[in-house]
Amino acid sequence: MDEPLIVNDQMGADDCLIIAQILSGQKEKFRVLVHRHERAVYGMGVSFFRNAEDAADFTQEVFLKAFRNLARFEGRSRFSTWLYTIAYNTAVNGVNRRREYRSLAEENSVADGDTPEQNALRGAVRDAVLEAVQDLPERYRTCVDLFFFYDRSYQEIEAITGFPVNTIKSHVFRAKKLLRDKLEAYT
């Protein structure tokens, strides 16, 4: 880590400090990184593998790969971006073996205090969105998930997927248009 670290936020700075401690021999500090990022990695696992057991195995595999390769982290991006790159590549390899993918748009959400009618309406809308998202080409779904559900920037998605930024922008734009057209009847 000879070059200066690029840090976009406080958590990124904290992650870099923890990484330096781990690389200097305090390996138990890796637990902190796992605690900070496991929920997001697990969420990606659920979206790719469709069940909790496979998502948990995936999460463990990603963090094991990250730990083994931590010395390769150069700090040119946030640690979370580097970790998501590992997670994405691991997931794509796993999906290529299984040929399944589920978008985060499929996840259920029920607000506390809603009436049964509101829950039914929300469920119908969710089902319509789910069906529309499922019809998107996989590359569009991936970009949409990372951009909207994981709140990743175009540059981070580029680092994660290897798609050029303009391609990502195009995929997100086209996906939104396809979704808008398909869901127009629900407005």
Phi, psi at 69, each rounded to 5°: -110, 15
pLDDT tens string 152-170: 889 888 888 889 999 999 9
CATH class of segment(s) 105-187: mainly alpha
Q: Nearest to residue 160, comparing CAs of 139, 131, 180?
A: 139
**What Cα–Cα distance (Å) separates residue 137 from each residue in 67, 140, 164, 186?**
33, 5, 17, 22
Does the pLDDT at position 104 exceed 60?
A: no
Confidence label for 174 from pLDDT (cuts 50, 70 and 90): very high
Structure tokens at 157: 């998605």
pTM: 0.57
Q: Which of 157, 16, 179, 2 is nearest to 87 (CA)?
A: 157
Tokens representing 69 are: 């390769």
CATH number, span 1-102: 1.10.1740.10
Ranges of each domain in the chain: 1-102, 105-187
22-60 pLDDT, tens digit each: 999 999 999 999 999 999 999 888 888 778 888 899 999
